[in-house]
Amino acid sequence: MTDHQESGNVAHGSTDHGGGYGQYLLIWIGLLALTALTVSLAGVQLGRWVIITALTIASIKSVLVLQVFMHLRSEDRMFRVFVAVAVATLLIFIVLTFFDYAFH
Protein backbone atom coordinates (compact mmCIF):
# COMPACT_ATOMS: atom_id res chain seq x y z
CA MET A 1 0.00 0.00 0.00
CA THR A 2 1.33 3.46 -0.80
CA ASP A 3 1.70 6.27 1.72
CA HIS A 4 -1.21 8.13 0.17
CA GLN A 5 -3.55 5.19 0.60
CA GLU A 6 -2.46 4.56 4.17
CA SER A 7 -3.05 8.12 5.28
CA GLY A 8 -6.78 7.88 4.61
CA ASN A 9 -8.75 10.73 3.10
CA VAL A 10 -6.39 13.41 1.93
CA ALA A 11 -8.63 15.26 -0.49
CA HIS A 12 -6.90 18.61 -1.02
CA GLY A 13 -3.41 18.06 0.26
CA SER A 14 -3.19 18.16 4.01
CA THR A 15 -5.85 20.80 4.64
CA ASP A 16 -8.31 20.08 7.39
CA HIS A 17 -11.90 20.86 6.55
CA GLY A 18 -12.64 21.20 10.25
CA GLY A 19 -16.02 21.19 11.88
CA GLY A 20 -17.79 18.22 13.27
CA TYR A 21 -21.28 16.87 13.14
CA GLY A 22 -22.42 19.46 15.66
CA GLN A 23 -21.49 22.32 13.35
CA TYR A 24 -23.23 20.65 10.41
CA LEU A 25 -26.33 20.09 12.52
CA LEU A 26 -26.43 23.75 13.59
CA ILE A 27 -26.01 24.97 10.02
CA TRP A 28 -28.73 22.58 8.86
CA ILE A 29 -31.10 23.85 11.56
CA GLY A 30 -30.24 27.41 10.52
CA LEU A 31 -31.01 26.58 6.89
CA LEU A 32 -34.35 25.07 7.94
CA ALA A 33 -35.15 28.19 9.98
CA LEU A 34 -34.31 30.46 7.04
CA THR A 35 -36.49 28.32 4.77
CA ALA A 36 -39.36 28.59 7.26
CA LEU A 37 -38.82 32.36 7.39
CA THR A 38 -38.99 32.54 3.59
CA VAL A 39 -42.22 30.53 3.51
CA SER A 40 -43.80 32.60 6.29
CA LEU A 41 -42.83 35.88 4.63
CA ALA A 42 -44.50 34.73 1.42
CA GLY A 43 -47.88 35.28 3.07
CA VAL A 44 -47.03 38.77 4.38
CA GLN A 45 -47.85 41.79 2.23
CA LEU A 46 -44.52 43.56 1.93
CA GLY A 47 -45.13 45.13 -1.45
CA ARG A 48 -41.97 45.50 -3.47
CA TRP A 49 -39.84 44.32 -0.53
CA VAL A 50 -40.96 40.70 -1.00
CA ILE A 51 -38.40 40.04 -3.72
CA ILE A 52 -35.61 41.83 -1.87
CA THR A 53 -36.20 39.91 1.37
CA ALA A 54 -36.52 36.58 -0.44
CA LEU A 55 -33.27 37.16 -2.35
CA THR A 56 -31.50 38.28 0.82
CA ILE A 57 -32.53 35.14 2.68
CA ALA A 58 -31.56 33.00 -0.32
CA SER A 59 -28.17 34.71 -0.46
CA ILE A 60 -27.54 34.01 3.22
CA LYS A 61 -28.48 30.37 2.70
CA SER A 62 -26.19 30.04 -0.31
CA VAL A 63 -23.26 31.56 1.60
CA LEU A 64 -23.81 29.08 4.43
CA VAL A 65 -23.88 26.15 2.00
CA LEU A 66 -20.79 27.38 0.13
CA GLN A 67 -18.77 28.07 3.26
CA VAL A 68 -19.68 25.01 5.32
CA PHE A 69 -20.96 22.14 3.21
CA MET A 70 -18.80 22.84 0.15
CA HIS A 71 -15.78 23.64 2.37
CA LEU A 72 -15.06 26.92 0.58
CA ARG A 73 -13.51 28.52 3.66
CA SER A 74 -10.76 25.90 3.70
CA GLU A 75 -9.95 26.14 -0.01
CA ASP A 76 -7.08 28.01 -1.60
CA ARG A 77 -7.43 31.75 -2.06
CA MET A 78 -7.39 31.50 -5.87
CA PHE A 79 -10.34 29.10 -5.85
CA ARG A 80 -12.27 31.52 -3.62
CA VAL A 81 -11.49 34.32 -6.09
CA PHE A 82 -12.92 32.22 -8.94
CA VAL A 83 -16.09 31.58 -6.95
CA ALA A 84 -16.37 35.30 -6.11
CA VAL A 85 -16.05 36.21 -9.80
CA ALA A 86 -18.78 33.72 -10.70
CA VAL A 87 -21.08 35.08 -7.98
CA ALA A 88 -20.38 38.66 -9.06
CA THR A 89 -21.23 37.78 -12.66
CA LEU A 90 -24.49 36.19 -11.54
CA LEU A 91 -25.27 39.25 -9.42
CA ILE A 92 -24.67 41.54 -12.41
CA PHE A 93 -27.09 39.50 -14.53
CA ILE A 94 -29.74 39.60 -11.81
CA VAL A 95 -29.37 43.36 -11.29
CA LEU A 96 -29.51 44.05 -15.02
CA THR A 97 -32.61 41.87 -15.34
CA PHE A 98 -34.35 43.79 -12.54
CA PHE A 99 -33.39 47.13 -14.08
CA ASP A 100 -34.76 46.03 -17.44
CA TYR A 101 -37.97 44.84 -15.79
CA ALA A 102 -38.35 48.00 -13.68
CA PHE A 103 -37.72 50.56 -16.42
CA HIS A 104 -39.21 48.85 -19.42
Whole-angstrom Cα distance, residue 53 to residue 36? 13
Give the pLDDT of residue 29. 95
Per-residue pLDDT band at 100 (split at 50, 70, 90): confident
CA 11 to the chain's CA centroid: 21
Per-residue pLDDT tens over the stretch 34-89: 999 999 988 888 888 888 888 889 989 988 888 888 887 778 888 888 888 998 99
pTM beyond cutoff 0.75: no
One-letter-per-residue 3-state SS of the chain: CCHHHHCCCCCCCCCCCCCCHHHHHHHHHHHHHHHHHHHHHHCCCCCCHHHHHHHHHHHHHHHHHHHHHCCHHHCCHHHHHHHHHHHHHHHHHHHHHHHHHHHC
Per-residue pLDDT tens over the stretch 3-33: 444 444 445 554 555 668 888 899 999 999 9
**Would you say how long the chain is, in residues?**
104
Whole-angstrom Cα distance, residue 62 to residue 25? 16
Other Cβ atoms less than 10 A from the Cβ of 68: the count is: 20
Name the CA dihedral angle for 84, 85, 89, 92, rounded to a multiple of 10 degrees.
Answer: 70
Per-residue pLDDT band at 95 (split at 50, 70, 90): confident
